[in-house]
Amino acid sequence: MIQPSTFSTAAGDSTLAAVPAPLPLGELVAGPGEWEVEIGFGKGRYLLRRCREEGDRRFLGIEVAGEYHGIFVERARSQAPPNWLAIRGDALYLASAVLPAGFASALHVYFPDPWPKSRHHKRRLFDPQTVDLVLRLLRRGGRFSFATDFLDYGERVIEILAGYPGLRFERRDRPWDEGPRTNYEAKYEIEGRPILRLEGILEVDGREAPLHPLGARAVLAATWVDED
């Protein structure tokens, strides 16, 4: 798992090693606005637009690719108000060890890497063993949005989410009302490529997010024996 190294705000850049965990989000981006999270924001088309249009909300973006992280940060500093935080790093690591649970009112995941080869499935963002880490970022009533053009993976995500306690979701049968949210989506719509979209609401607080029943089977408990 790739550990994150850098986070950026309108004020500058720093390393996560320099701040305590869980990350003190309110100190990094001031204001009373609710938080939204986008995992895998790419070049930041949707995230940047949301920052500009919703100046009274706060946005956290996660991107593992340093180049894309840098592109977004440069654009956000010149085009958006200071209502954003961008972290370069692995989303699952961040969700499990760095970010507080239950802080976000919305979570966006668009066109994540499907890792199509069977031996790579363990790297997927949505898996029975990891789905709780992702959804735990949401508060009770938080909204979840997802899209992929890799339909086999999308159907697998539907199966996983259908078995997750406390999540109510549905398959969206039309494009987003405001148009494509990512560069990939814009390209794929022009090409006529099918896109699977999901929308949901977490009905439990992320701080109490349960394990997926299938994922719980893979959890191992270690016992230390005192030899003294």
Confidence of residue 122 (pLDDT cuts 50, 70, 90): confident
Question: What residues are annotated to the active site?
Answer: 113
Tokens of 187: 């390209």
Confidence of residue 219 (pLDDT cuts 50, 70, 90): low
**pLDDT over 50 (residue 228):** no
Buried b (16+ CB within 10 A) or exposed e, 40-67: bbbbbbbbbebbeeeeebbbbbbbbeee
Enter the CATH code of domain 6-216: 3.40.50.150
**pLDDT over 60 (residue 225):** no
> 3-class secondary structure for the chain?
CCCCCEEEECCEEECHHHCCCCCCHHHHCCCCCCEEEEECCCCCHHHHHHHHHCCCCEEEEEECCHHHHHHHHHHHHHHCCCCEEEEECCHHHHHHHCCCCCCEEEEEEECCCCCCCHHHHHHCCCCCCCHHHHHCCEEEEEEEEEEECCHHHHHHHHHHHHCCCCEEEEEECCCCCCCCCCHHHHHHHHHCCCCEEEEEEECCCHHHCCCCHHHHCCCCCCCCCCCC
pTM: 0.92
**pLDDT over 70 (residue 62):** yes
Cα torsion angle, 46, 49, 54, 59, sign: positive
Average the pLDDT over 197-222 and give the result. 84
**Residue 93: HSE in the Cβ half-sphere, 13 Å Cα cutoff:** 13
The pLDDT, as a whole number, for residue 190 is: 96
Burial of 172 (0-12, 13-18, 19+ CB in 10 A): middle
Domain edges within the chain = 6-216
Average the pLDDT over 192-213 and give the result. 95
Confidence of residue 125 (pLDDT cuts 50, 70, 90): very high
Confidence of residue 117 (pLDDT cuts 50, 70, 90): confident
Average the pLDDT over 53-68 and give the result. 96
Which pLDDT tens digit goes with each residue over 70-93?
999 999 999 999 999 999 999 999
Per-chain mean pLDDT for the chain? 92
The pLDDT, as a whole number, for residue 208 is: 93
